[in-house]
Amino acid sequence: MGERNENGERSANLHVFSKAVIGGTIFPNKHIHKTTRVSRDHTTGNQTDHICITKKIRRTMEDVRTRRGAEIASDHHLDVAKMKLKLKKHWTFGETALQRFNTAFL
């Protein structure tokens, strides 16, 4: 994609220190799906916008792409992450689950 400048180095060091993962770089996509900013002459593309998550939930992220057709009034493209979330079932244990109503008082 290009070379990393000083701000990119700071951002990468911050993510390493906070144990975060940069979402757009871990998936093997074409460069056209990774380019988040296009120059005004429409020849140079850069990857400047990233989606960052913690390492704890990085397995839930399935894919990160840019949507070039989204109209956001900028020379940047919209980043979209596809995530798979698992919902846990809430189990109740103990007396509250087996409690019966006393119908003698009715």
User: Which residues span the domain enclosing 13?
Assistant: 6-105
Instruction: Give residue 104's identity as a one-letter amino acid code.
Output: A
Instruction: Note whether residue 1 is domain-resident.
Output: no
Taking only the tens of pLDDT, the chain with its 106 residues reads: 556 777 777 877 777 777 777 766 666 666 666 666 666 676 766 666 667 787 777 777 777 777 777 666 766 777 777 888 888 877 766 555 566 777 888 7
How many other CB atoms are there within 10 angstroms of residue 35's CB atom?
A: 19
To the question of pTM greater than 0.85 for the whole model, the response is no
Q: How many domains does the chain contain in total?
A: 1
Asked, for residue 36, whether it belongs to a domain, the answer is yes
In single-letter form, the type of residue at position 60 comes to: T
Residue 45 neighbours by CB distance under 10 Å = 18
Retrieve residue 44's tokens. Answer: 């140079």
pLDDT attached to residue 56: 78
65 domain residue, yes or no: yes
* pLDDT (0 to 100) of residue 66: 74
pLDDT score recorded for residue 35: 66
Residue 42: inside a domain, yes or no?
Answer: yes
CA distance 76 to 14: 23
Amino acid letter, 54: T
- How far, in Å, CA of 25 to CA of 38, rounded? 18
SS (H, E, C) the chain: CCCCCHHHHHHHHHHHHCCEEEHHHCCCCCHHHHCCEECCCCCCEECCCCCEEEHHHHHHEEEEEEECCCCCCCCECEEEEEECCCCCCCCCCCHHHHCCCCHHHC
